[in-house]
Structure 1
Amino acid sequence: MTQTQNQTCRTLSRLALVAALLAPMPALAQQEDRPDPRPAQEQPAPQMKGLAGPYLAARMATVENDFRAAARYYAQASAKDPADVYLQDSALVALSSAGEVDKAAELAESMVESGRDTELAGLLRRAQLIRASDWDGLLALIAADSDPARPIENDLLDGTMQAWAMLGAGRAQDALAKFEEMAAADGIGPIVNYHLALARALVGDYESADRLLEQSEAGSPLLGVIARVQILAQLDRQDEALALLESLPGIEAEPQLLKLRQRLQAGQPVPFDVIAGPADGIAHLLLSFASALSGSPDPEPLALIHARLAAWISPENPEARLMVAQLLQDRLQFDLAETEFEAVRRMGEMRPQAELSRIDALSGAGRHDEAERAALALTAAYPDLAQAWIALGDVTRQQEKFRESIPSYDKALTLLQDAPAEQRWFPLYARGIALERSGLFDRAEADLLAALEIRPDQPSLLNYLGYSWIDRGENLERALGMIERAVELSPGDGYILDSLAWAYYRLGRYEEAVSPMEQSIATMASDPLVNDHLGDIYWMVGREREAQIQWRRALSLEPGESGEVDPDRIRDKLERGLDAVLADEAATGAEEPPRAEADASE
């Protein structure tokens, strides 16, 4: 690894606060693209014999976030050239990301002992010592790496680890003094005070811990609340602890908070166990780093690594496992993520919000069977959670199981019958779609109108009901006005523009249909239905050659796969013309295939 690369890793590992953590920085996976700062004659010649294959495979796997494959290929590449520190550092990234932290720590230990250490190897070696509760070893390693000239505010990670290690080594007074020294530095006081509060609580000084937590803005919101509630309980201030919990929005979706509330309400003792010792405190610190690093638009690979290390150090910490799962899910590594979600569920800590996010991600990735199983599990675990039933309804509706989805929305709306109206509009809208697609238009119309009363300017809702009326030849003027209003509210939405054009078409206003349909095709060029519609409109305004081009394009987009367009009907139009097809349909009473709508989403 070059000096520049080492400095990059050092900067990432010593970030102080959230603002600093979010500053733009190069990702580890991109570092091989950096030029070597040494003169060309001093740069080593690349050793490609036997190395190119696994290296390129590792790079491709890294780009695709396939961490297991990347770890395997980087291990092969580094075995070909064991002196290449960069290859070994890349292997550390891949192994840690894949959850093979034991192997990563062993490699890091060998790198450190052989003098080929990097900042990431040092971080993994620290984690290895923490996991082993080798506090003297950790203190020695930190001391060996310390730089007296480095400002204390730039040494948040090592400084906080050092304080926790002192506590673990039985040097409580030294530990508290180190925390207080760091808390006095500019900019890092809030996060250090959070850890100082946890440390003081561990040694039984709950009064000081409570004052520090009240002032601190650091720590994850959930863990910070749990710590404060548990500390208040140790001070026999159960009423304040209960009031704090009752003031939190969304407490019904947080199992840990519900358990605390139940214990307080029942007058049962509440232990201080948010952390059991210094290792848990350091895991909290690593989670803070992971959370901040993951907040950028292009998350650093170290976000996942810090979360993985937190979970490795403190495997029974559900927050760590959950953060790992969510970071893996963000990278579309659903199989790896499922291992972590399952670990959280085994702890009895299924988190509804995380599960809802997981269901949505699985659906978006086309893993509908898994999404449906997850939604069923969530409704079983939280039968009174309306959002769980909405998620189940959405998953089945998106698979066009419209009748199956209706009971889920029924259950959600029953649970929401006393909720504010704003919480009811979406399940009303979604159930309206399911009912309309199931041929139950009277009930669908009632739901869509009720949703419109709550959200009169919701573009997709205006579009859906407006088009449904036009398709049925009902309320034509009002329906067209609704679609035109939807276009005003969402002028770039290709589905809504398609609706407006198709509404004009159904009303026989063919010339007016051309412009919005051409605008729609500009945003949805690969949609077979929109291409088919544009062909029909062109035919009706006498542009028959252009109509045939659009129909051929619609056929080339494999319309039969979606079920929205009948490819045989398109072929019939190409062979005989739209007029003849419509005449036959009118004579036989056949209906034109239904028009697909944009999927409903909140």
Structure 2
Amino acid sequence: MKPGGGGVACPRPARYAGRNANVNVRKCLVTQIRPRPTLLRLALIAGLMGATALPVLAQDTAAAPPIRGLAGPYLAARMATVENDFRAAARYFVQASAHDPQDVYLQDSALVALASSGEVERAAVMAERLFLEERPTELAGLLRRAQLIRAEDWQGVIDLIEANRSPDLPLEQDLMDGTIRAWALLGAGRATDAVAAFEAMTAGEALAPIVNYHLALARALAGDYEAADRLILQSEASGHLMGLTARVQILSQLDRQDEALALLSDIEGLEAEPQLLALRQRLEQGQPVPFDVVAGPGDGIAHLLLSFASALASSPDPEPLALIHARLAAWIAPQNPEARLMSAQLLQDRQQFDLAEAEFDAVRRMGQMRPQAELSRIDALSRADRREEAEKAALALSSAYPGLAQSWVALGDVMRQQEKYAEAVPSYDRALDLLADAPPQARWFPLYARGIALERSGQFERAEADLLAALEIRPDQASLLNYLGYSWIDRNQNLDRALEMIKRAVELSPGDGYILDSLAWAYFRLGRYQDAVAPMEQSIATMASDPLVNDHLGDIYWMVGRYREAQIQWRRALSLEPAESGEVDADRIRAKLDRGLEAVMAEEDGPVASAPSQSPQTEADATE
């Protein structure tokens, strides 16, 4: 489960995947957006900020130099969007649109950049001006709606929807405007009309699940918990955190605490959801549980925007407009942690860690640190080579949740990624202690990861025990077979079994260049040089820029008498700056070029060890 409102599970799969996939609702939401040509054009504009993005950090727009004329700001804005630098893009598109206020593309581009960067207030003011000048765009309409919702001008919302909408789509078939209008009617004190508007929308089979969820929230807000309970059972609420919370709160209002507790006890991974744990504790202690998932129509509309954000982000071709919907939800309901988390995660996906951190900080200030979100954040920071920040975040998570095994695995992974192997071991020790009574499948990766850390820190006997234990749980895990098999061959132990293990790893993952490299290098260590050629050439085809693989291929070519080709591979390995990889000795390669491989090997006490393969950063890497 990832944070997300409405009736759609959030983009990236997690523990609740498979319980309620919400496929129909997701298709419904995406269908609601995709046919609209204006929003499709906006998606292309916003696409410059996502689909073609390069992994760079957000820059401070105050440092961006002013550029005169139209062409300069426009080109600077385009460059900023390609780099996903929303702040700079906002600055330059605003400049460009000021030079040509009639250009709809520039106006919409400025709105996209402002909203994406979190400057929603400025975007809304700009959208309001476009309405006053009678040249609104569809994105301006969405922002103007949000502005009126935030101001709780419910009659203004109703009037805007009725005056500025497509006649081709009736309100009862329009999930966005129809639901916003129904909530606005409730906010305007027209409860009967609001219920009628919601019920009219439930006639459509595709819309019914999500509209029933909103109608359930509206009924509960009005104190009609019996009706709310019936409706929420006909919705997709059980597929996301806020829906589950709403169901539990509604059951509590009906004095059905036993059912509420049973619902919570059936949730896999409950220990990683502090909000649900707190609910369970209150129920167990007999404390009152208020209904507070929504406090008013604005909160309900924020849920709707999060549903759109989730659907757009999780569609087969993820839409950058997802971030705008999440930003609007957070602007309308700033105390909604799900809106903040989704904004943070979408920013994180676009490598905008500085902007994402502001949202994560807001969630932490609410006392709503979510382990799953923090684990995702730690992983993203690590993959962006922001390892010190990842380590700090992992330390904070393991401190806040010392009983959560995943937090210790994450800390161990971060330490291992920084080659602090000995320091990683205690974290894995703690995780495995916590998982002592867990099913074996929960233990295999911490065992594997600890085995890697132990092997790299020179404690092979302990490492071997862990790797064998992990292999007993996952006998067909390719990277695990490869790691242990190569480790044995590197130490001249269990050679026959080790080679069979690596062959099996190749069968399981035939396109993995690292495993092919291991098979070739195993043959090399066994003196079967001719057998080593084919797998090493296959490996180099997938990993041409890896200095270690090039060095290995050079060694193999040399041993089969292809001296000229060997020298070419060694020179290529040197050109790839092997010192930076930490796995290849550049001086040794130069010695081989000067004196030949046999002479270098004769000067060495024994075979030169090399890494078994690229070890997985996380369990997700190991299971790909």
Q: What's the TM-score once normalised by structure 1's chain length? A: 0.92
Whether the 8 Å CA contact 1:153–1:187 is kept in 2: the answer is: no
Residue 191 of structure 1, CA deviation: 1.2
- Structure 2 counterpart SS, 1:178: helix
Amino acid corresponding to residue 22 of structure 1 in structure 2: V
| 1:160-208 deviation line (CA, Å, top 9, x unaligned) | 1111111111111111111112222342111111111111111111100
Change (3 A) 1:554 1:171: same
The answer on whether the counterparts of 2:213 and 2:231 sit within 8 Å (CA) in structure 1 is yes
Q: Does the Cα contact within 8 Å between 1:379 and 1:388 map onto a contact in 2?
A: yes
Match of 2:42 among 28, 32, 49: 28
Q: State whether residues 30 and 308 of structure 2, in contact with CA within 8 Å, keep that contact through their aligned partners in structure 1.
A: no
Q: Is the 8 Å Cα contact of residues 152 and 185 (structure 1) preserved in structure 2?
A: no
* 1:378 match: 397
Query: Which residue pairs with 1:38 in the alignment?
Result: none
C-alpha distance in 1, partners of 2:100/2:332?
31
For residues 81 and 143 of structure 1, what CA distance do their matches in structure 2 show?
30
SS in 2 for 1:276: coil
Q: Compared with structure 1, are the counterparts of its residues 152 and 79 closer, same or farther at alpha carbon in structure 2 (3 Å cutoff)?
A: closer
**For each residue in 1:403-425, what CA deviation from the matched residue of structure 2 results, as whole angstroms up to 9, or x when unmatched?**
01000000011001111111111
Q: Secondary structure at the match of 2:314?
A: coil
Q: Encode CA deviations 1:435-486: one digit per residue, 9 max, x unaligned.
A: 1111111111111111111111111111111111111111111111111111
Task: Describe the superposition over 1:349-391 as per-residue Cα deviations: whole angstroms up to 9, x where unpaired.
Answer: 1111111111111111111111111111110111011111111
**Against the structure 1 CA distance between its residues 496 and 596, is the aligned structure 2 distance closer, same or farther, given a 3 Å change threshold?**
same
- Partner in structure 2 of residue 76 of structure 1: 95
**Residue 116 of structure 1: SS of its match in structure 2?**
coil
CA contact (8 A) 2:216 2:228 kept: yes
Larger radius of gyration: 1
CA contact (8 A) 1:191 1:219 kept: no
1:511 aligns with 2:527: no
Q: Distance in 2 between matches of 1:519 and 1:212?
A: 58
Q: Aligned with 1:271: secondary structure?
A: coil
Superposition CA RMSD, Å: 1.8
Q: Which moved more, 1:566-575 or 1:153-162?
A: 153-162
Contact 1:153 1:186 in 2 (8 A): no
Structure 2 residue aligned with 1:502: 521
2:367 to 342, 345, 348: 348
Separation of aligned partners in 2, 1:496 and 1:423: 25
Name the aligned partner's letter for residue 518 of structure 2: S
2:254 to 229, 232, 235: 235
The answer to whether structure 1 residue 406 and structure 2 residue 414 are counterparts is no
1:197-596 to structure 2, matched below 5 A, reads 197-217=216-236, 221-585=240-604, 589=605, 592-595=608-611
Aligned partners of 1:555 and 1:567 also within 8 Å: yes
The answer as to whether partners of 1:27 and 1:300 remain within 8 angstroms in 2 is no
Comparing 115-124 with 152-161, which one deviates more in the overlay? Answer: 152-161
Cα distance in 1 between the residues matched to 2:479 and 2:313: 32
Structure 2 residue matching 1:22: 3-state secondary structure: helix
Q: What's the CA shift for 1:502?
A: 0.7
Write the distance in 1 (CA, Å) between the matches of 2:189 and 2:591.
85
Tell me, in whole angstroms, the C-alpha distance in 1 between the residues paired with 2:214 and 2:230: 13
Contact 2:546/2:573 (<8 A) preserved: yes
What is the rounded CA distance, in whole Å, between the counterparts of 1:267 and 1:467 in structure 2? 57
Equivalent residues of 1:194, 1:219 under 8 A apart: no
- Contact 2:173–2:201, Cα closer than 8 Å, also in 1: no
Q: Give unmatched runs, 5+ long, in structure 2.
A: 1-23, 48-66, 620-624
Change (3 A) 1:383 1:70: same
Asked whether 1:51 is paired with 2:54, we answer no
Q: Name the SS for the 1:426 alignment partner.
A: helix
- 1:594 is displaced (CA, Å) by 2.7
Moved over 6 A (4+): none
Structure 1 position 135 matched with structure 2 position 143: no
Q: Taking CA–CA contacts closer than 8 Å with sequence separation of 6 or more, which of the two structures ends up with the larger relative contact order?
A: 2
**Residues 304, 31 of structure 1: alpha-carbon distance in 2 compared, 3 angstrom cutoff:** closer
Instruction: Supply the distance in 2 between the matched residues of 1:524 and 1:478 (Cα, whole angstroms).
Output: 27
**Aligned position for 1:597:** 613
Q: Point out where structure 1 has 5 or more consecutive residues left out of the alignment.
A: 1-15, 34-47
Q: Which residue of 1 aligns with 2:4?
A: none
Q: Which residue of 2 aligns with 1:5?
A: none
Would the alpha carbon gap of residues 248 and 321 (structure 1) be closer, same or farther in structure 2, given more than 3 Å must change?
same
2:597 & 2:440 partners in 1: Cα distance?
46
Deviation at 1:146, TM superposition (A): 4.1
What corresponds to 1:42 in structure 2?
none
Question: What's the counterpart of residue 622 of structure 2?
Answer: none
Match of 2:27 in 1: 19
What's the CA shift for 1:49?
A: 9.2
1:123 Cα deviation from its structure 2 partner: 0.7
Count matched residues.
Answer: 570
1:109 paired residue number = 128
- For the residues of structure 2 that align with 1:565 and 1:31, how far apart are their CA atoms? 44
Aligned counterparts, 1:107-186, within 5 A: 107-147=126-166, 150-186=169-205
Per the TM alignment, residue 401 of structure 1 is displaced from its structure 2 partner at its CA by 0.6
**Secondary structure of the residue that 1:525 maps to in structure 2?**
coil
Given the two structures, how large is their TM-score scaled by the length of structure 2?
0.89
CA–CA distance in structure 1, aligned partners of residues 585 and 85 of structure 2 = 38
My pick for the range that moved more, 19-28 or 292-301, is: 19-28
Which of the numbers 47, 50, 60 marks the counterpart of 2:79? Answer: 60
